[in-house]
Amino acid sequence: MNILVLNGPNLQLLGTREPELYGVETLESIRTRMEERAGELAEQLDEPIGLEFRQSNHEGDLVDWIGAAPGQADGLVINPAAYTHTSLALADALKAVADRVPAVEVHLTSIQAREPVRHASLTAPACIGQIAGFGGLGYVLALEALVDALSST
């Protein structure tokens, strides 16, 4: 099973970016936590789990990666960051592949508990679920939920 993990704009700055909101954990550390959990899940399922982890500040990169995912990945974990609230293009890309590559949306912060402009997610309706508010742990939970969904289909 291959999982693609996509991260949107400014997430490369995790660790130093508004630590009072986003904490001090880096994206690299989140990647390590996901890889560790993927290893455990792979053992339980007796099936290898490949994780491909990417970040871009450019909407088009994310759209391209989602569009190319069928055939490369079985599922997506995505933190679209600010594009969550603005990008019809990302929502359309996720919808276009949803029948072959289901996605779980993740946010470090609880977007519902933040400024009103962050309450709506354009991308969440194209995903099978959303996990928000648990910091880096949310990525691990998203992986777990996605692997469960994929292995029960």
- Which of the 8 DSSP states describes residue 129? E
Closer residue to ligand DQA (CB): 101 or 108: 108
Tell me the CA end-to-end span of the chain in Å, nearest whole number. Answer: 12
Give me the catalytic one of 58, 83, 107, 139.
107
Q: Is 151 in the site for ligand DQA (CB under 6 A)?
A: no
**Residue number with CB closer to ligand DQA (22 or 102):** 22
85 has binding-site annotation: yes
Binders in 46-105 for ligand DQA, by CB under 6 A = 79, 81-82, 84
Measured CA to CA, the distance from residue 153 to residue 150 in angstroms comes to 6
Integer Cα distance of 119 and 96 in angstroms: 24
Residue 95 or 118: the one with the smaller Cβ distance to ligand DQA is 118
Which residues are within 8 A (CB) of 123 and not within 5 positions of it... i.e. 6 or more apart?
78, 80, 83, 84, 87, 90, 91, 94, 105
Altogether, the residues listed in the chain come to a count of 153
**Can residue 10 be called a binding residue for ligand DQA (CB under 6 A)?**
yes
58 is catalytic: no
Binding site for ligand DQA (CB under 6 A): 10, 79, 81-82, 84, 107-109, 111, 118
Annotated binding-site residues for substrate read 79, 85, 92, 108-109, 118
Residues annotated catalytic, as ranges:
22, 107
